[in-house]
């Protein structure tokens, strides 16, 4: 199949309402939006399926120079300004996150076109297509446009009497002082509520006020505060508010290897990734997000405990089986396009460590786990104590035979260690305590004997291997080795050197060692993990230098994917990626605690002595 033209990932902005999300290109095209939730069917899917998969574009009717593209400060509202003949055209757009307590549709996307200087010709293209087969809607025109696909309905209302026909491009004249507001609403198995376009912008402004209030409560002592806030806002947008489940990304099948088959569906909740994000929220005083996550996890894991699934749906169900969408060309010709994820059945020991660490961080910040949550954590810990000697799939979910991954063993140790710390203020039997302590000692001894290369002074990727693993960069935050340990410093140096993809980038593991055809890019969270590791091992100047270098490769809107092409700087993989943004926040917190970088907009504060933990 011939590859379609695809805008660069960095040219896409994220619009979200904490239930689903849209990706909008630099020319004003919404090329990805799933309904009714992140993991639903796309109604606009041009990002992966080409024009016939649907888009919703609003922008200049004629070629125009883009002057500005930015988020309004500390909000989720996106603004794009084009220069036109004698004037400008501004597109301002957002999704409304807070709809409770009012008669509003669950999904509400509002776009406003404004002209300045002279009247401007603008083009509006609405071409909704549902799902794998690009189903056309049943259309009704009345006071507003209604498109229907059975239980799913969409409406579009426009101010100023503008009428839009699906599947066509409508050219309108935007007069200075008379903006055109477009209101797109989605409803699934519920009434489709009409929102007056003339007053709809008030909803965006009210939502902006809530975002400003939310960000104002974030600790002011963190360095690089603006990118940290943008990352935290992104993590919040990627959290499914009805359940508290964070998604790894709002997209599927954006390639790690353009033109290749490394295309996976990330629109689900990984307890590991979620726990990393929760550590970021906790480190900046957002305890509510962490509590919501644990409440979701308690519900989501109830039927499979003490086993912790590698990933779950937003409501805690089984992730659909992995399947290929027929006749979808994929982004940059990268097929197959997949929905569902085959990693859902893997045993991943490291997930238990991340979850127990998140629980411990809540406890150490003054929260007491309720009896049901502590019961679940005890069950997870008992499983780790029993199963840690077994091989697992590892953090990178390689689709090959299980192995004794050193990172997984360390995270198993972390689960046992954090559970014992929690047990300092929560009841367990003396017998269970002894069993956990014995397992913690045993796994530590096993790692130090079988997972360490004495000749190179570094921990390795797996037992019996000489390969390295960038996931080992989280060692300094676990407390498994002391900050001054020669083994720890040797591992950080070895990973930074041997897995380098050219400064400041790192590969996850040696390229070509995962059994899949093609190559992948450098993994961006690993660069932030290296910055964090350097800060926590007394090399704060190097850490800050690396942090700033990685910040420099973000997209123009401050968004990161999971990977990057080290040769071209092109963002790769699903976008935006929650793990990358969470790792950014954690690295900034490590820099704060290293007391190297002066806080922005606030006076310096004295560093606080804390125990090592992945929140930085």
Q: 187-210, pLDDT tens digit by residue?
A: 999 999 989 998 899 999 999 999
Question: From the centroid of its chain, how far is CA 68?
Answer: 25
SS3 44: strand
3 state DSSP class of 123: strand
Identify whether 390 is part of a domain: yes
CB atoms within 10 A of CB 603: 8
pLDDT at 483 over 60: yes
Q: Is residue 611 part of a domain?
A: no
State whether 252 and 394 are in the same domain. yes
Ranges of beta strands (E only) in 2-101 are 13-16, 21-24, 29-35, 41-44, 55-60, 65-71, 78-84, 87-95
Beta bridge pairs of residue 171: 123
Distance from C-alpha of 463 to C-alpha of 446, rounded to nearest angstrom: 10
Q: Which helix (H) or strand (E) holds 563?
A: strand 563-564
| End position of a domain, from candidates 154, 188, 213 | 213
State pLDDT tens for residues 126-183: 999 999 999 999 999 888 899 999 999 999 999 998 999 999 999 999 999 999 999 9
Would the pLDDT of 1 be above 50?
Answer: no
Mean pLDDT lowest among 102-106, 291-295, 338-342, 555-559: 102-106
Which stretches within 16-148 are classed as H helix?
46-49
Name the residue with tokens 């059945």: 345
Residues 300 and 364 in one domain: yes
Q: Are residues 84 and 96 in the same domain?
A: yes
Q: What's the CATH number where 109 sits?
A: 2.70.98.50
Digit-coded pLDDT (tens) for 16-36 = 999 999 999 999 999 999 999
Instruction: Among 161, 187, 213, identify where a domain stops.
Output: 213
Chosen domain end from 213, 243, 259: 213
Note whether 263 and 185 are same-domain residues.
no
Please, are residues 409 and 349 in contact by the beta-carbon 8 Å criterion? yes
Beta bridge partners of 87: 84
Tell me whether residue 106 is in a domain: yes
Look at the chain and report how many structural domains it folds into.
2
Give the span between the Cα atoms of 476 and 211, in whole angstroms.
34
Residue 140 DSSP code = E
Q: What is the pLDDT of residue 400?
A: 73
* pLDDT confidence of residue 478: 96
Q: What is the mean pLDDT of residues 301-319?
A: 91
Please give the pLDDT value at position 218. Answer: 87
Looking at the structure, tell me whether residues 292 and 348 fall in a common domain: yes
How many CB atoms neighbour CB 390 within 10 A? 12
- How is residue 469 written in tokens? 């693993």
What predicted TM-score, i.e. pTM, was given to this entire model?
0.94
Give SS3 for 470.
helix
Q: Tally Cβ neighbours within 10 Å of residue 169.
A: 13
pLDDT tens sequence across 532-558: 999 999 999 999 999 999 999 999 999
- Distance, CA of 231 to CA of 53 (rounded, Å): 30
SS3 87: strand
Q: Identify the DSSP state of 609.
A: P
- With a cut of 60, say whether residue 610 has pLDDT above it: no
Phi, psi of 103 (to 5 degrees): -85, 85
Beta-strand ranges (E) seen in 549-615 are 563-564, 571-572
Locate 340 and state its tokens: 């569902």
pLDDT for the residue numbered 101? 63
Instruction: Count CB atoms within 10 A of the CB of residue 508.
Output: 25
Establish if 311 belongs to a structural domain: yes
Within a domain: residue 3? no
% of residues, the chain, pLDDT over 90: 82
pLDDT digits (tens, 9 = 90+) for 416-469: 999 999 999 999 999 999 999 999 999 999 999 999 999 999 999 999 999 999
Cα 115 from Cα 159, distance rounded (Å): 15
The residue-averaged pLDDT of 259-286 equals: 92
- Give the pairing type, strands 29-35 and 41-44: antiparallel
Could you give the count of Cα atoms lying within 13 Å of 253 in the half-sphere of its Cβ? 28
Mark whether 250 and 280 lie in a shared domain.
Answer: yes
* Overall average pLDDT of the 389-414 stretch: 92
What is the bridge-based pairing of β-strands 180-188 and 41-44? unpaired
pLDDT band at residue 98 using 50, 70 and 90 as cut-offs: confident
The alpha carbon torsion through 350, 354, 359, 360 (nearest 10 deg) reads: 100
For residue 3, pLDDT over 90 is answered with no
Residue 545 lies in domain: 217-594
Q: Helices marked H in 129-253 — which ranges? A: 197-216, 225-237
Q: Do 373 and 470 belong to one domain?
A: yes
Return the number of other C-beta atoms located less than 10 Å from residue 582's C-beta: 29
Q: The domain spanning residue 492 has which CATH number? A: 1.50.10.10
Question: Is residue 602 in a domain?
Answer: no
Mean local confidence (pLDDT), 215-224: 89
* Whole-number Å distance between alpha carbons of 241 and 113: 29
Whether residue 471 is contained in a domain is answered as yes
Distance from C-alpha of 223 to C-alpha of 587, rounded to nearest angstrom: 10
CA distance 96 to 106: 9
pLDDT reading at 5 higher than 80:
no
Tokens for 147? 């498109």
CA-angle at 240, arms to 69 and 560, nearest 5°? 35
* Structure token pair of residue 132: 């794998």
Element of type H or E holding 156: strand 152-158
Q: Got the DSSP string for 294-350? A: HHHHHHHTTTTTTS--S-B-TTS-PPPPPEE-TT---GGG----EES-GGGG---TH
The H-assigned helical ranges of 5-59 are 46-49
**Whether residue 239 sits in one domain with residue 383:** yes
141 close to 187: Cβ distance less than 8 angstroms: no
Structure tokens at 333: 């010709």
Same domain (yes/no): 195, 251: no
Examine the domain organization and report whether 206 and 239 are in the same domain: no
Give tens-digit pLDDT for 278-308.
889 999 989 998 899 888 988 888 888 999 9
Rounded to whole angstroms, the Cα distance separating 74 from 208 reads: 8
Same domain, 284 and 329: yes
Tell me what pLDDT residue 611 has.
37
Q: Please name the residues in contact with 116: beta carbons below 8 A apart, sequence gap of 6 or more.
A: 87, 88, 89, 90, 176
585 part of a folded domain = yes
**In angstroms, rounded to a whole number, what is the distance separating the alpha carbons of residues 479 and 477?**
6
| Whole-angstrom distance, CA of residue 10 vs CA of residue 473 | 27
Residues 483, 359, single domain; the answer is yes
């Amino acid at each position: 199949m011939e590859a379609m033209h695809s805008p660069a990932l960095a040219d896409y902005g994220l619009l979200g309402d904490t239930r689903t999300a849209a990706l909008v290109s630099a020319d004003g095209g919404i090329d990805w939006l799933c309904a009714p939730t992140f993991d639903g069917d796309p109604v606009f899917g041009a990002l992966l399926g080409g024009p016939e998969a649907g888009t919703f574009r609003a922008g200049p009717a004629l070629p125009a120079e883009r002057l500005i593209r930015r988020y309004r400060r500390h909000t989720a509202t996106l603004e794009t300004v084009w220069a036109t003949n004698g004037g400008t055209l501004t597109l301002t757009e957002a999704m409304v996150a807070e709809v409770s307590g009012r008669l509003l549709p669950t999904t509400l996307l509002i776009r406003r076109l404004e002209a300045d200087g002279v009247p401007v010709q603008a083009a509006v293209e609405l071409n909704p297509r549902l799902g794998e087969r690009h189903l056309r809607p049943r259309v009704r025109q009345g006071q507003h446009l209604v498109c229907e696909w059975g239980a799913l309905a969409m409406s579009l209302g426009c101010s100023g009497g503008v009428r839009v026909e699906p599947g066509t491009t409508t050219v309108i004249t935007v007069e200075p002082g008379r903006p055109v507001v477009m209101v797109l609403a989605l409803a699934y198995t519920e009434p489709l509520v009409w929102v007056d376009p003339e007053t709809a912008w008030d909803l965006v402004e009210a939502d902006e006020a809530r975002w400003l209030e939310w960000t104002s409560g974030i600790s002011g002592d963190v360095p690089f505060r603006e990118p940290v806030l943008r990352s935290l806002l992104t993590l919040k947008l990627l959290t499914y508010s009805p359940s508290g489940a964070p998604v790894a990304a709002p997209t599927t099948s954006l390639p790690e290897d353009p033109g290749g088959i490394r295309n996976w569906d990330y629109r689900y909740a990984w307890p590991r990734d979620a726990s990393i994000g929760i550590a970021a929220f906790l480190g900046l005083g957002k305890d509510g997000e962490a509590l919501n996550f644990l409440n979701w996890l308690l519900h989501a894991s109830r039927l499979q405990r003490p086993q912790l699934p590698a990933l779950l749906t937003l409501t805690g169900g089984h992730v659909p089986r992995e399947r290929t969408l027929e006749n979808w060309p994929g982004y940059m010709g990268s097929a197959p396009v997949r929905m569902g994820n085959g990693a859902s059945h893997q045993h991943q020991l490291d997930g238990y460590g991340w979850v127990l660490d998140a629980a411990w961080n809540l406890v150490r910040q003054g929260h007491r786990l309720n009896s049901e949550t502590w019961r679940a954590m005890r069950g997870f810990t008992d499983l780790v104590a029993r199963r840690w000697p077994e091989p697992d799939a590892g953090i990178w979910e390689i689709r090959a035979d299980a192995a004794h991954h050193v990172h997984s063993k360390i995270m198993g140790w972390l689960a046992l260690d954090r559970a014992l710390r929690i047990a300092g203020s929560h009841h367990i039997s003396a017998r269970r305590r002894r069993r956990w302590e014995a397992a913690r000692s045993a796994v530590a001894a096993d790692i130090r004997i079988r997972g360490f290369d004495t000749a190179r002074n570094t921990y390795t990727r797996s037992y019996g291997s000489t390969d390295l693993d960038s996931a080992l960069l989280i060692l300094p935050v676990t407390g498994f080795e002391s900050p001054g340990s020669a083994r720890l410093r040797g591992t950080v140096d070895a990973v930074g050197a041997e897995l380098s993809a050219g400064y400041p980038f790192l590969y996850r593991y040696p390229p070509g060692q995962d059994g899949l055809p093609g190559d992948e890019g450098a993994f961006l969270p690993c660069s932030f993990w290296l910055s964090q590791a350097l800060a926590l091992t007394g090399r704060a100047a190097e850490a800050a230098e690396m942090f700033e270098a990685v910040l420099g490769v973000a997209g123009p809107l401050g968004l990161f994917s999971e990977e990057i092409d080290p040769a071209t700087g092109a963002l790769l993989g699903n976008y935006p990626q929650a793990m990358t943004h969470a790792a950014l926040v954690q690295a900034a917190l490590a820099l704060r605690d290293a007391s190297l970088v002066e806080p922005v907009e606030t006076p310096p504060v004295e560093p606080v002595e804390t125990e090592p933990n992945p929140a930085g």
